[in-house]
Structure 1
């Protein structure tokens, strides 16, 4: 969806970037006017990092004096007036974010395409669904405190079906069961899966990775899927057909993903299954992708 393929454009909401749960509680309990007054009264109080803060910091660290590889844009339901606290906090944390859209309560997703966005992260599930429908990779972030993911390497983990790939295989599993799914995938092993909503985002990461020496690359990607053999073959052949690089692939055969994501050190994990997101969210930043048969 990006208009400028020489850089990756990420749109993020203020609640995904910063811990705004105190002020959001004011909004839910006392309404918009009380929320606006609260933000203005506290606009000099620096916001603490939110759940996607570490991800954003590492994305922006991919830039150097010669290459702007990533741009992060703030897309917020705040007004410009209440958004001043957010921009003050951006400045305090020394994040090079200069573009923003403040929409005063309406959905900002419509500006994702105008900015050339490749990825949209928000705490608002309706905005995320709208962005996905418009053709942009998007995920609902479980808001909260920043989660430390360890070293300086940017590590992004993806589920397969309905995230990197379409939901055609998962639909068979949901409707006909595991045996039918396994048989279908074995017979279709040589046929690449159609792309899912995050294919283009992974392609953009792969292009950035290609600029670095593989031994010293600041990005690592992982496929973390509930699939197991023999359903692994179609996935591997699909990524090969797409000429997409995945650094690590975990075929877990239904095991809980959370501990594996923690072991990988994921800065964020994208999955279409809300149950997987719920279990992982306490250990890593997690984004629910409300796409495919599991979300109908």
Structure 2
């Protein structure tokens, strides 16, 4: 059993994460039925089972760790809020709220759109991150300036193509929330990645060396990283329940610009892995990432052999 971590001092920092029902719970059976037979069949299916708890979905372990950061927070001032966004109706969504109650998740706000897009409601809630199982919803959120990713489960060694492991309810003995980020086109803009893809690695290194003291532009996840960093400040650095890592294909001499950019932004990343093109998956497993964000489909497929991964469809790698 882990010892609760006491914040170093009161903080007004709040992290707001919006998540879809299909990312939080296993709703694929019902979704497949909807695709085959339509809304009425789906509605009947959910009503008949509304008192049966839904199984945990891809993002369930992550959400539990996020909400656990509220332990000891002042009443009415949670450090983290998770907002549920769903294309269900409020009627079929009752089963989802029942599952939230069953698992004791502290989620009190939700939007049910009866099939309409959910992304317009992300910004009014002030969410810094949106996680969905629907790639189109993720793209629309990114277009509207919200950090967003299509969350994909880790594949176990025995999984066949297209299948993935299901999260269980075993507790991480550390209880620490561990989030890892790619650099270019995720935390940073994609201008350097464009040089690499268009002109080659030698041109990329020359470009980054010449501009080592020129801060990189911010990518779609800069705001989320800043919010996560601010939340970290509420806890003692030596015993924080949050740990972050940069896991990038960059290597020396392209490392310098990254370090100086983060210094300019006054943002802390606990670990930085400059892998020089090595596969990221084994390193993410060694870090123990609860979730890793990357724009490259190749990196995403490699990473999800080991950890849950969010694809960020942004930048030159995602035309």
TM bucket (normalised to shorter chain) is: over 0.9
Instruction: Write the distance in 1 (CA, Å) between the matches of 2:27 and 2:307.
Output: 18
Q: Secondary structure at the match of 1:156?
A: strand
Q: Secondary structure at the match of 1:293?
A: coil
Instruction: Write the distance in 2 (CA, Å) between the matches of 1:6 and 1:248.
Output: 22
Equivalent position of 1:53 in the other structure? 60
Instruction: Write the distance in 1 (CA, Å) between the matches of 2:224 and 2:82.
Output: 14
Q: Shift in Å at residue 22 of structure 1?
A: 1.9
- Preserved CA contact (<8 Å) 2:182 2:248: yes
Q: Secondary structure at the match of 1:114?
A: coil
- Preserved CA contact (<8 Å) 1:162 1:292: yes
Instruction: Write the distance in 1 (CA, Å) between the matches of 2:121 and 2:65.
Output: 24
Q: 5 Å matches for 1:1-296? A: 6-63=13-70, 64-66=72-74, 67-142=77-152, 145-146=166-167, 150=172, 151-296=174-319
Q: Secondary structure at the match of 1:46?
A: coil
More helix by share: 1
The 1:107/1:166 distance shift into structure 2, 3 A limit, reads: same
Larger deviation, residues 82-91 vs 271-280? 271-280
Task: Give the alignment's TM-score, normalised by structure 1.
Answer: 0.95
- Preserved CA contact (<8 Å) 2:13 2:230: no
The answer for unaligned runs of 5 or more in structure 2 is 1-11, 154-163
Instruction: Write the distance in 2 (CA, Å) between the matches of 1:155 and 1:121.
Output: 16
Larger deviation, residues 38-47 vs 143-152? 143-152
Instruction: Write the distance in 2 (CA, Å) between the matches of 1:253 and 1:46.
Output: 45
Instruction: Write the distance in 1 (CA, Å) between the matches of 2:19 and 2:34.
Output: 20
Equivalent position of 2:4 in the other structure? none
The 1:251/1:61 distance shift into structure 2, 3 A limit, reads: same
Instruction: Write the distance in 1 (CA, Å) between the matches of 2:40 and 2:260.
Output: 54
The answer for unaligned runs of 5 or more in structure 1 is none
Q: Shift in Å at residue 25 of structure 1?
A: 2.0
The 1:283/1:24 distance shift into structure 2, 3 A limit, reads: farther
Task: Give the alignment's TM-score, normalised by structure 2.
Answer: 0.88
- Preserved CA contact (<8 Å) 1:149 1:266: no
Q: Shift in Å at residue 149 of structure 1?
A: 8.1
Q: Secondary structure at the match of 1:295?
A: coil
Instruction: Write the distance in 2 (CA, Å) between the matches of 1:282 and 1:13.
Output: 23
- Name the Cα RMSD after superposition: 1.5
